[in-house]
């Protein structure tokens, strides 16, 4: 994530927890320096279902669900102090899975 001139990398051994379901997304990521909280909401709207190609099988499967007009709230803390707290009323939120095969 970019915050001003700084790039925040949440790489291992960062602790990341997520909960996804029923049009809601919650992600919590922690390093010794930063804590990032992301909360997304689809606003009760149904997702767009996008086809995912399976070239080896010459077919598509519907495993990508996109909410193209969701809401996202982000809080970034550095050493426990809030350095960013913002909300976007127009954000893309996705639930996707990797097709077998």
pLDDT recorded at residue 6:
93
The pLDDT of 39-66, averaged and rounded, is 86
pLDDT averaged over the chain? 89
- Judge whether residue 17 has pLDDT over 70: yes
Instruction: Render pLDDT for 31-48 as a digit per residue (tens, 0 to 9).
Output: 999 999 999 999 888 888
* Residue 53 CB neighbours (<10 A): 11
Residue with the larger pLDDT of the pair 85 and 94: 85
- Judge whether residue 14 has pLDDT over 60: yes
pLDDT confidence band for 50 (50 / 70 / 90): confident
């Amino acid at each position: 994530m970019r915050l001003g001139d700084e790039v925040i990398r949440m790489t291992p051994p960062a602790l990341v927890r997520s909960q996804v379901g029923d049009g809601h997304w919650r992600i919590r990521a922690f390093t010794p320096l930063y804590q990032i909280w992301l909360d997304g909401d689809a606003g009760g709207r149904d997702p767009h279902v996008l086809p995912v190609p399976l070239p080896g099988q010459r077919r598509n499967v519907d495993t990508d669900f996109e909410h193209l007009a969701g809401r996202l709230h982000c809080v970034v803390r550095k050493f426990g102090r809030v350095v960013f707290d913002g909300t976007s009323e127009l954000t893309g939120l996705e639930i996707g899975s990797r097709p077998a095969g």
